[in-house]
Chains A and B, each alone.
Chain A
Amino acid sequence: MNSMPRNRVLFALIIVAVAAGALGSFVADAPNRLVSGQPLGLWQAGGATTALPLALLGAALLVLSFARITRATRLAGLGCSLAALLLWIFAAGSSASALMAAAPPATRIALGWGFWATVFCLAMIVLDALQRLDAHGLLRLSTVAAIVAAIAAMALAGHFDGLSLAREYAARRSAFWSELERHCWLVLAAVAIALAIGAPLGVFVARRPSAGPGIFGALNLMQTIPSVALFGLLIAPLSALGVGGIGAAPAIIALVLYSLLPIVRNTHAGITGVDPTVIDAASGVGLTPTQILWRVELPLGLPVFLAGLRIVTVQAIGLTVIAALIGAGGLGSFVFQGIGQYALDLVLLGALPTILLALAADFALALIAACFERNPAP
Chain B
Amino acid sequence: MIELRGVTKRYGARASVNDVSFAVAEGAFCALVGPSGSGKSTTLRMINRLIEPSAGTIRLGGEDVATIPVESLRRRIGYAIQSVGLFPHWTIADNIATVPRLLKWPEDRVRARIEELLTLVRLDPGAVRAKYPHQLSGGQQQRIGVARALAADPDVLLMDEPFGALDPITREALRLELARIHKATGKTILFVTHDVDEALQMADAIAIMRDGRLVQFGTPSDLLTKPADDFVRDFMGGSALGLKLLALERVADRLNPETVPGEAPLALDARLSEALSQMVLRRADRLPVSDDAGKPVGSIALRDLVARS
Query: Contact residues of A with B, CB < 8 Å?
Result: 275, 277-288, 291, 295-296, 299-300, 375-378
A377 touches B88 (CB 8 A): yes
B85 touches A277 (CB 8 A): yes
Determine if B33 is an interface residue (Cβ-Cβ < 8 Å): no
CA distance A312 to B40 in the complex (A): 47
Q: Known: A300-B89, A376-B135. Contact between A283 and B50, CB under 8 A?
A: yes
Q: Known: A277-B81, A376-B134, A376-B135. Contact between A284 and B48, CB under 8 A?
A: yes
Q: Known: A286-B75, A288-B71. Contact between A281 and B86, CB under 8 A?
A: yes
Q: Known: A283-B50, A286-B99, A286-B102. Contact between A296 and B134, CB under 8 A?
A: no
Q: Known: A287-B102, A376-B132, A378-B134. Contact between A281 and B84, CB under 8 A?
A: yes
Residues of chain B within 8 A of A279, CB atoms compared = 85
Choose one: B83, B89, B148; the contact of A285 (CB below 8 Å): B148
Residues of chain B within 8 A of A377, CB atoms compared = 88, 134
Distance from B298 Cβ to chain A, minimum over Cβ atoms (Å): 48
Residues of chain A within 8 A of B98, CB atoms compared = 285, 287
Interface code B117-132, partner A: CB below 8 Å = 1, 0 otherwise?
A: 0000000000000001
Query: Contact residues of B with A, CB < 8 Å?
Result: 48, 50, 71-75, 79, 81, 83-89, 98-99, 102, 132-135, 145, 148-149
Q: Nearest residue in A to B72 (C-beta to C-beta)?
A: A286
Q: Nearest residue in B to A295 (C-beta to C-beta)?
A: B87
Distance from B114 Cβ to chain A, minimum over Cβ atoms (Å): 15
Q: Nearest residue in A to B89 (C-beta to C-beta)?
A: A299
CA distance A375 to B145 in the complex (A): 21
Is chain A's binding surface mostly helix, strand, loop or mixed? Answer: helix
Q: Known: A300-B88, A300-B89, A376-B89. Contact between A284 and B135, CB under 8 A?
A: no
Residues of chain A within 8 A of B145, CB atoms compared = 281
Choose one: A287, A376, A378; the contact of B71 (CB below 8 Å): A287
The 3 closest A-B pairs by CB, nearest first: A281-B85, A286-B74, A376-B132
Residues of chain A within 8 A of B50, CB atoms compared = 280, 283-284
Residues of chain A within 8 A of B133, CB atoms compared = 376, 378
Q: Nearest residue in B to A284 (C-beta to C-beta)?
A: B79
Q: Nearest residue in B to A291 (C-beta to C-beta)?
A: B102
Distance from A273 Cβ to chain B, minimum over Cβ atoms (Å): 12
Q: Nearest residue in A to B151 (C-beta to C-beta)?
A: A285
Distance from A331 Cβ to chain B, minimum over Cβ atoms (Å): 39
B74 touches A284 (CB 8 A): yes
Distance from B164 Cβ to chain A, minimum over Cβ atoms (Å): 12
CA distance A375 to B75 in the complex (A): 29
CA distance A281 to B99 in the complex (A): 11
CA distance A299 to B89 in the complex (A): 8
Residues of chain A within 8 A of B99, CB atoms compared = 285-286
Choose one: B87, B102, B149; the contact of A278 (CB below 8 Å): B87
Residues of chain A within 8 A of B84, CB atoms compared = 277, 281
Distance from A371 Cβ to chain B, minimum over Cβ atoms (Å): 13
Distance from A160 Cβ to chain B, minimum over Cβ atoms (Å): 48
Residues of chain A within 8 A of B74, CB atoms compared = 283-286
Residues of chain B within 8 A of A277, CB atoms compared = 81, 83-85
Residues of chain A within 8 A of B89, CB atoms compared = 299-300, 375-376
Residues of chain A within 8 A of B86, CB atoms compared = 278, 281
Q: Known: A286-B74, A287-B71. Contact between A280 and B135, CB under 8 A?
A: no
Residues of chain A within 8 A of B85, CB atoms compared = 275, 277-282, 284
Distance from B44 Cβ to chain A, minimum over Cβ atoms (Å): 10
- Given A285-B79, A286-B75, A376-B133: 10 more A-B contacts, CB < 8 Å: A277-B83, A281-B79, A281-B85, A282-B87, A284-B74, A287-B98, A295-B87, A299-B89, A377-B88, A377-B134
CA distance A288 to B48 in the complex (A): 14
CA distance A375 to B85 in the complex (A): 18
Distance from B222 Cβ to chain A, minimum over Cβ atoms (Å): 31
CA distance A286 to B71 in the complex (A): 5
Q: Nearest residue in A to B83 (C-beta to C-beta)?
A: A277
Query: What are 12 of the A-B contact pairs (CB < 8 Å)?
Result: A277-B85, A281-B145, A283-B50, A285-B148, A286-B74, A286-B75, A287-B71, A299-B89, A375-B89, A376-B134, A378-B133, A378-B134
Most buried by A among B48, B50, B89, B99: B89
Choose one: B48, B72, B79, B88; the contact of A378 (CB below 8 Å): B88
CA distance A82 to B99 in the complex (A): 55
CA distance A284 to B78 in the complex (A): 8
Distance from A15 Cβ to chain B, minimum over Cβ atoms (Å): 45
CA distance A300 to B132 in the complex (A): 14
CA distance A295 to B101 in the complex (A): 13
CA distance A283 to B102 in the complex (A): 12
CA distance A300 to B89 in the complex (A): 7
CA distance A296 to B75 in the complex (A): 17
Residues of chain B within 8 A of A281, CB atoms compared = 79, 81, 83-87, 145
CA distance A127 to B190 in the complex (A): 58
CA distance A307 to B6 in the complex (A): 50
Distance from A138 Cβ to chain B, minimum over Cβ atoms (Å): 23
CA distance A218 to B241 in the complex (A): 64
Distance from B98 Cβ to chain A, minimum over Cβ atoms (Å): 6
Residues of chain A within 8 A of B134, CB atoms compared = 376-378
Residues of chain B within 8 A of A286, CB atoms compared = 71-75, 99, 102
B81 touches A285 (CB 8 A): no
Distance from A299 Cβ to chain B, minimum over Cβ atoms (Å): 5
CA distance A300 to B135 in the complex (A): 17
Residues of chain B within 8 A of A278, CB atoms compared = 85-88
Distance from B163 Cβ to chain A, minimum over Cβ atoms (Å): 15
B88 touches A376 (CB 8 A): yes
Distance from A373 Cβ to chain B, minimum over Cβ atoms (Å): 11
CA distance A280 to B160 in the complex (A): 12
Residues of chain B within 8 A of A285, CB atoms compared = 74-75, 79, 98-99, 102, 148-149
Distance from A269 Cβ to chain B, minimum over Cβ atoms (Å): 17
CA distance A280 to B48 in the complex (A): 12
Residues of chain B within 8 A of A284, CB atoms compared = 48, 50, 74, 79, 81, 85
Most buried by A among B81, B85, B133: B85
CA distance A298 to B14 in the complex (A): 36
Residues of chain A within 8 A of B75, CB atoms compared = 285-286
